Amino acid sequence: MFFDHLELAPADPILGLTDAYKADTNPKKVNLGVGVYQNENGVTPVLKCVKAAEQRLVDEEQTKSYLPITGLPEFGRLTREMIFGKDAALVDNGCAVTFHCPGGTGALRIAGDFLVQQNIAKRVWISNPTWGNHFQIMGAAGLETAKYTYYNAQTKSLDFDAMLKDLGQAAEGDVVIIHACCHNPTGLDLSHEQWDKLAQFLADNKLLPLLDFAYQGFGRGLEEDAYGVRKLAETGIEFLVASSYSKNFGMYNERVGALTVVCTSADIAKNVQSQIKVAVRCAISNPPAHGEKIVVTVLSDPELRAQWEQELAEMRDRMRRMRELLAQKLAAAGAGDFNFIVEQNGMFSFLGITKEQVQALRDKYGIYLVATGRACVAGINDNNIDYLADALTAVVKG
């Protein structure tokens, strides 16, 4: 018997919530669990620009033969334009290499595999709190993990001094995962001044940044959200970026992400690229084409690109409107000061409520949040916001 000693693994703390939500018979149930955009009607739509690109592919695609291990060179170039800016040197100067990986998760895992296989790093520092999967992915790749403080639960704000103090314990050569924007789960991002300091700190301490850039365009805008990544690029240090088209293209199940590695010369980048090819070949051989070709089609066609930016802005603006409305409604209901929700960015709000309060929301009201008190604000709409505000108020007031 090979398998009889196995025990049932616990459900995934984020993806498992979707199953529980689906099974709930409460007609008023609200899904604020997994980070998936929902529109005003609670639907996760296929973006119009994506549909148009898919139609074009159906009509024009000539082959389903393998893609290069890296993905299409044009995909890499367009991704670097998004990350570093259209006119940035790193787009074309050969110092940065990009791989299409299956989603942001795939990009992080390939990054971890590469760092371990090439004996580049042994330990990775991860923010506390963070997206639950970071620890698992890095552990599975074979890296030791350590936590750095990010959040002050008393003030419900980012604790930058504590962050730098903890990272001061890191050894030269350690990796540091930093959320480039829309921190998951807190929604609290570094200010420009803090990014400037952090970039210098990482350079001075010879740490290797791995930026998790899963939410570009969901915070303040495509360009605004890239401030931190571009600041690191300015310092001239080596770093990695795991980016994703799951959220900003609404292509969750197409698994389109990218790993970009910034090197100090084009020659070094060639060697890095060759070694990451080995890591990719072992893990997935080569990437799937459909979602990647959609990204290339949309980003390289001026009309489709404009339509995408418009659709992205609509998602971003709706989430921001829901933040403002929820804070207002909670204040009106006497729930206490929830104004911090408005200061947070992106898809998530860290409500600062206890596990028991999260459970009560689920049991009594059919409202699903991650156990840490993370709510996906994209699940809020004009039809459920009063119900949510009343339930939250009742639970907070006990």
Residues that bind ligand LMR (CB under 6 A): 14, 34-35, 131, 133, 184
Nearest distance from C-beta of residue 206 to ligand LMR, angstroms: 30
Cα-trace Rg, the chain? 21
Is residue 5 classed exposed, middle or buried when 0-12, 13-18 and 19+ CB atoms within 10 A define those classes? exposed
Q: Which residue number, 104 or 199, has a Cβ lying nearer to ligand LMR?
A: 104
317 is catalytic: no
Residues whose CB falls within 8 Å of the CB of residue 1, separated by 6 or more in sequence, listed in order = none
Nearest distance from C-beta of residue 242 to ligand LMR, angstroms: 12
* Helix or strand holding residue 322 (H, E): helix 302-332
Nearest of 234, 198, 380, 159 to residue 391 by alpha carbon: 380
Nearest distance from C-beta of residue 334 to ligand LMR, angstroms: 30
Nearest distance from C-beta of residue 184 to ligand LMR, angstroms: 5
CA distance 108 to 214: 10
CA distance 99 to 71: 6
Q: Which of 29, 113, 125, 131 is catalytic?
A: 131
131 is catalytic: yes
Q: Which of 29, 212, 293, 329 is catalytic?
A: 212
Nearest distance from C-beta of residue 12 to ligand LMR, angstroms: 8
Q: Which residue number, 90 or 351, has a Cβ lying nearer to ligand LMR?
A: 351
Q: Which residue number, 14 or 242, has a Cβ lying nearer to ligand LMR?
A: 14
E-strand stretches of the chain: 30-31, 96-101, 123-128, 144-149, 151-152, 157-158, 175-179, 208-213, 239-244, 257-262, 348-350, 367-368, 374-376
Q: Which of 29, 247, 293, 329 is catalytic?
A: 247
CB atoms within 10 A of CB 222: 19
Q: Which residue number, 132 or 287, has a Cβ lying nearer to ligand LMR?
A: 132
247 is catalytic: yes
Residues whose CB falls within 8 Å of the CB of residue 191, separated by 6 or more in sequence, listed in order = none
Residue type (1 letter), 87: D
Nearest distance from C-beta of residue 380 to ligand LMR, angstroms: 15
Q: Which residue has the tokens 């802005």?
A: 313
Question: Do residues 57 and 297 lie in contact, with contact meaning Cβ atoms separated by under 8 Å?
Answer: yes
By beta-carbon distance, which residue lies closest to ligand LMR? 35
Q: Which residue number, 133 or 344, has a Cβ lying nearer to ligand LMR?
A: 133
Cα angle 131, 134, 140; round to 5 = 150
Q: Which residue number, 84 or 150, has a Cβ lying nearer to ligand LMR?
A: 150
Residues whose CB falls within 8 Å of the CB of residue 183, separated by 6 or more in sequence, listed in order = 127, 150, 158, 189, 345, 346, 348
Nearest distance from C-beta of residue 14 to ligand LMR, angstroms: 4
Dihedral sign (CA 109, 114, 116, 120): negative
Q: Which residue number, 34 or 272, has a Cβ lying nearer to ligand LMR?
A: 34
Backbone angles phi, psi at 260, to 5 degrees: -120, 130
Q: Please list the active-site residues.
A: 131, 212, 247
